[in-house]
Amino acid sequence: MQRINIKITEAVQKIIKELYGENVNEEQIQIQKTRKEFDGDFTLVVFPFLRFSKKSPEITANEIGDALVKNMQEVESYNVIKGFLNVSLSDEYWKNFFNEVKSNDNYGFKEVTENSNKIVIEYSSPNTNKPLHLGHIRNNLLGWSEAKIMEANGNKVIKVNLVNDRGVHICKSMLAWKELAGGKTPEDVKMKGDHFVGDYYVAFDKEYKKQIAELVANGMDEKEAKNEAKWMKQARTMLQEWESGKPEVRKLWEKMNSWVYAGFDETYKKLGVSFDKIYYESQTYLLGKEVILKALKEGKLQQKEDGTVFIDLTKDGLDEKVLLRSDGTALYMTQDIGTAILRYEDFKFDESAYVVGNEQDYHFKVLKIVLKRLGYDWAENISHISYGMVELPDGKMKSREGTVVDADDLVDEMIETAKEKSDELGKLEGFSEEEKNEIFRKIALGALKYFILKVDAKKNMTFNPKESIDFNGNTGPFVQYTYVRIQSMLSKAKDLGIENIHEYNNSEKLEQSELALLNFIYDFEDVVEEAGKRRNPSVIANYVFDLAKEFNRFYHEIPPILKEENKDLMKFRLSLSNKTAIIIKNALDLMGIEVPERM
């Protein structure tokens, strides 16, 4: 069935041609949803046509409105307020629309086929020297949701992770462990491996600072002290040993990384994210080096006297960018070039998307240009899904100052709060512990995910731990609750012996709240598309909240459905509720949020 907003657009085009003899393109025809406070379903803005009609906005709108009623049987009436033509569709249209979609659980989604666009999306990208924190949570939730939304828009999506498992920062925690741990493992102290390793990274920094302070006290200037501190020198040596493949160092590196991976796996599982392929920087940086050295030989890059390899981007309005250190070791950019190339060879993607914070906007601008200069045409299809920082009410998170919000802690606290809240309300009595815990988990993660994803991805956001745990108002649990309520009603209907809720013959005039719900249901398809185009899960969040709110209003305004004597009407309303629940479930799924059946 053709989308009615498109049909109206085409009709308006024809009408303008007939009335005023002008050809207007689709972009000039602004059809929007009628705002709540006015009568109507769709609104046409007529101001752009005044120069054709040479009449007042009111007269122009009336002329077009008359013609629409005449030309389109779906259009029942219209009203004009200022330059706005509000069009009301007939009950018959809405009932037909609902009949089309009520049993289609995939309404709003496009099919993924063999010929679909292939998108590789990278997200998460952790370092193996510390556990995941709140910033990673935003990244992971966004990455997962973007992937889901891309899929819903008919793209073939491949989710990849790039683990930053090498570099001097990794050596720092290795060194501290070697010096301080006395051979202890995470098992020995019953800790999650990533937290265990992270503690040694912190320990390194503490000792390092002490050493700097000592040197400064002995008269060295600070800059020199930073370079000359014993542990820093040892860490650098360790990196060189690592690069040259010294067995002892490699072994330690593998051991500690494996601890971290076990910890990450747990966190990823808890968050409900996963990957189709994992890249390791340790496996891509050599390719990056190779490609750069080759390009240098071909004269595409430049070299300084000390051996530094760089690219001059001043013509692109950027600076000179170093691609290899003077000692020949790799940088972040070096490995990212390697990874990008490897990824193209692996997947021959149509698009390669990176979910990475906006602090790296410059990095990705450079990456794209460098790859193009090196002759990789597909670099044009690299996109950076840039998102804003997460700040705490009292400022930015700083790992060194201990103001980070740990990912595992946060999730655990949310679950604990969900449990308290539920006990307080006396819900879930008579459930087994296992069932209850599963529900708490869904609610807690629903709250967290919704809280983070409802904010426009590209904007910085403030994370207030207290408010994020809220389960009322514009929150995940509010939406989940609406779903649960509908499930409860549907199962009660079944208990009453009401079967085949999609089979009815509703001849009643539609109520305002029913029309409002139908409009929301209609919108879902456009919302999914918009979220995809804008690369923004918040579009979904805003929509599903409004839908849930609208349903709750409907639920209160309409007399109890299960007591409705007109069985056709009752079934229609049950079917409408059921459809609402399915859309809630599908929309939340696009955000990685699960729905409980009871709560």
Partner RNA sequence: GCCCUCAUAGUUCAACGGAUAGAAUAGCAGUUUCCUAAACUGUAGAUACAAGUUCGAUUCUUGUUGGGGGUACCA
Stretch 25-64 residues interacting with RNA (CB under 7 A): 30, 32, 34-35, 37-38, 43, 45, 47-48
Q: Tell me how crowded residue 323 is: count the other CB atoms within 10 A of its CB.
A: 25
Contact between 331 and 323 (Cβ < 8 Å): yes
Q: Is 375 in the site for RNA (CB under 7 A)?
A: no
Residue of 19, 81, 191, 202 interacting with RNA (CB under 7 A): 81
Q: Is 224 in the site for RNA (CB under 7 A)?
A: no
Residue of 178, 325, 372, 373 interacting with RNA (CB under 7 A): 325
Strands 395-396 and 390-392: antiparallel
Report the alpha-carbon distance of residue 595 to residue 599 in Å, rounded.
Answer: 9
Of 117 and 552, the one with the shorter C-beta distance to RNA is 552
Tokens of 575: 């079917």
Report the alpha-carbon distance of residue 115 to residue 104 in Å, rounded.
Answer: 23
Strand intervals (E) in 139-259: 156-163
Of 375 and 393, the one with the shorter C-beta distance to RNA is 393
Phi (first) and psi of residue 475, to 5 degrees: -140, 165
Shortest reach from residue 491's CB to RNA, in Å = 8
Shortest reach from residue 390's CB to RNA, in Å = 9
Binding to RNA, residues 378-397 (CB under 7 A): 389, 393, 396
Report the alpha-carbon distance of residue 385 to residue 149 in Å, rounded.
Answer: 13
Binding to RNA, residues 520-559 (CB under 7 A): 538, 542, 545, 549, 552-553, 555-556, 558-559
Report the alpha-carbon distance of residue 578 to residue 572 in Å, rounded.
Answer: 10
Q: Is 455 in the site for RNA (CB under 7 A)?
A: yes
**Total binding residues for RNA by CB under 7 A?**
90
Q: Where are the alpha helices (DSSP H) in 153-229?
A: 168-180, 186-189, 193-217, 222-228
Residue 56, SS3 per DSSP: coil
Shortest reach from residue 348's CB to RNA, in Å = 26
Binding to RNA, residues 343-362 (CB under 7 A): 358-362
Binding to RNA, residues 431-450 (CB under 7 A): 443
Part of the chain binding RNA (CB under 7 A), chosen from 60-68, 148-156, 266-274, 462-470: 462-470
- Residue found by looking up tokens 């952790």 in the block: 126
Q: Is 485 in the site for RNA (CB under 7 A)?
A: yes
Binding to RNA, residues 155-184 (CB under 7 A): 164, 167-169
Report the alpha-carbon distance of residue 233 to residue 224 in Å, rounded.
Answer: 12
Report how far apart, in Å, the C-alpha atoms of 415 and of each of 408, 410, 464 are: 11, 9, 16
DSSP 379: G
Report the alpha-carbon distance of residue 225 to residue 281 in Å, rounded.
Answer: 30
Residue of 9, 86, 145, 586 interacting with RNA (CB under 7 A): 86
Shortest reach from residue 476's CB to RNA, in Å = 10
Shortest reach from residue 76's CB to RNA, in Å = 17
Strands 461-462 and 390-392: parallel
Residue of 88, 173, 422, 506 interacting with RNA (CB under 7 A): 422
Shortest reach from residue 33's CB to RNA, in Å = 8
Of 154 and 388, the one with the shorter C-beta distance to RNA is 388
Part of the chain binding RNA (CB under 7 A), chosen from 186-194, 195-203, 293-301, 560-568: 560-568
Tokens of 404: 């980070």
